[in-house]
Amino acid sequence: MVPFPLTGDLVERLSPAEKTRLIAKADAACCQEFDLLGSGAYQFKDRMDWHLDFKSGFRWPSDQVSHRLPSVTQQGVDIKIPWELSRFNHAVSMGLAWRLSGNRKYAESFVSQVEDWIANNPVGYGVNWACAMDVAIRAVNWVVAFSLFHDVLMKGAFEGFRKKLAGSLWKHARFIHTHLEWLGPKDDAGANHFLSDLTGLYTLGLFFCNTVNGKCWNRFAHKQIEEEMVRQVFPDGVHYECSLSYHRLCLEMFMWCEALATKTGQRFSAAYHGRLKKMQQFVADYVNPSGNAPMIGDNDDGRLLSSGLLAIGDHRYLMSQISDGTFFLERFLLDGTAAVGCSSATQSAAYPDGGFYFLKNNRAKVAVRAGRLAHAGGHAHNDQLSFELNMDGREVFVDRGSFVYTSDPDARNLYRSTVAHNVMQINGAEQNRFGTRLFGVEDETQAQVIEQSEFSLEAKHGGFRELMRTGAEYRRRLDLGADGLTITETVAAAEPGDVLCWFFHLAPGLTVRCIEERVEILDNDKPLCLLNVFPGAKVVVQGFPHSPSYGVQEDAKTLTVEYVIGDALPNHAYQFVISWGS
């Protein structure tokens, strides 16, 4: 019960290098070795401990009722590690490896791990029943892995396992249906969690389609998924959580559900399909030439299905299907598509509903965030009017990422703060105040676009309200030319003595050479571009670890441009010019 054909095409399209990597990943899973969310390679020596955060060594009790377990415990402990392991994304890799090699060990390892998980995770107890989203994603991965292993698991020797799996999947469906992460039509808290619940329930409804409960789960989930497409996705195709990582996750789920619906004759509406295509077009516009996505908003590397072959930041597999494109196994697993256009869009694009703008020419791409904080700002950062610059396919100025969530509150707040983005800050104030919450911010900025054209964007926001300034406003204008990018800044209601700081976060591997009011940016000691700073400003170069994926940090440099206001003026204007020449 999968939307892709279980034929030789599944593996014949893979290159020799991809086959080797796929086998290596599956072999590691068979040996109980995992590298999850920045943990580094970790191997269970005996049986797998499904309740262990093996990154910190902390273990959640397996005999406590799930909803009473705290998701935030002591410093350094991350509940996402056991959750990620128990999602069983690795089971898909093992199933693919069996399809590729025919080696029975992959099926036997899958059976052994699932039986062990069932025995040590009674329903409603322990960390792995604490979140219905993870229950749903696990169920989908078990169904897909079972389908990949179908030929061998349907043999008589595995009859007992089939009964155990079916029984556990039935319990998964009942749990999801009674623990939906949603409080009603006006609830902003559900979002990707509620969509995950529905995706799992829809999949299991089809799996148990010959039962009364299965039909009920199917009808309910189908109806709600249709409604969630309208509720969670703006008319321009941007998912409302203000995060490209969560746009990716939700698009995977919408695509998977549509593929299942099409295969079973339960098609969603034309409106659903149209908005899905807009989500895919948004991906084509935001991916960089390398395929990597800018890290705007939160990023926890969450996936519905993954073969493990594709770099975690590569989103190209989600773009529209074309006849002469590239084969991505990640996409084939989602909907059976054999070829995907792998080149990012080359024209400038605007997504005013979602608040994303892309200025592009034949040398550069500038991604800008300027829009409302929907979904109560749950996965948003203080990144209003921030930009990312990609030049000749090389990332230059980037968002610093997310690093971690609940395991380190200070790091969590640092990476979603104003200083972690390519923006201006006044007197150390935040664009939007966080309060005590680790997720969600009030939209104090109320960002608005003033003017937008193919190569220009001007926008403003009214943040920094903790300063209690009447009429405070920050404007930024970006003009992309053939040989550079001009950034014009205007600050209203600033006072003498105020300290303005601009942050320019360099991609890992880039270095700088400061020459008075010019900063030369180097890639492998070769000039890449030049940042020209206005007179009187002080340039400071310091380290700021870059987080390309959850739990991972890399060395990187950040330029901080500081300026102390001297005169009292209604408006203060400043300009930066980034030039790269011919």
Question: What are the tens digits of pLDDT across the range 289-320?
Answer: 888 999 999 999 999 999 999 999 999 999 98
SS (H, E, C) 119-173: HHCCCCECHHHCCHHHHHHHHHHHHHHHHHCHHHHCCHHHHHHHHHHHHHHHHHH
Which DSSP helix (H) or strand (E) runs through 387? strand 387-391
**Which has the closest alpha carbon to 79: 126, 119, 136?**
126
Instruction: Provide the residue type at 82 as one letter.
Output: P
Return the domain boundaries, the chain. 1-128, 349-579
pLDDT for the residue 327: 86
pTM of this prediction? 0.96
Confidence grade of residue 505 (pLDDT, cut at 50, 70, 90)? very high
Lowest-confidence pick of 20-24, 337-341, 371-375: 337-341
Which pLDDT does position 182 carry in this prediction?
A: 85
CA triple 321-325-329, angle to 5 deg: 75
pLDDT at 375: 83
As a whole number, the mean pLDDT across the chain is 94
Specify the fold of 349-579: Beta-galactosidase; Chain A, domain 5 (2.70.98)
pLDDT, one tens digit per residue, over 460-491 is 999 999 999 988 999 999 999 999 999 999 99
Q: For residue 24, what is the enclosing H or E element? A: helix 16-30
Whole-number Å distance between alpha carbons of 13 and 92: 17
The residues that bridge with 526 in the sheet, in sequence order, are: 523
Long-range contacts of 563-569 (CB under 8 A, 24+ apart): 563/499, 563/500, 563/501, 563/534, 563/536, 563/537, 563/538, 564/497, 564/498, 564/499, 564/500, 565/494, 565/495, 565/496, 565/497, 565/498, 565/499, 565/500, 566/496, 567/496, 568/495, 568/496, 569/494
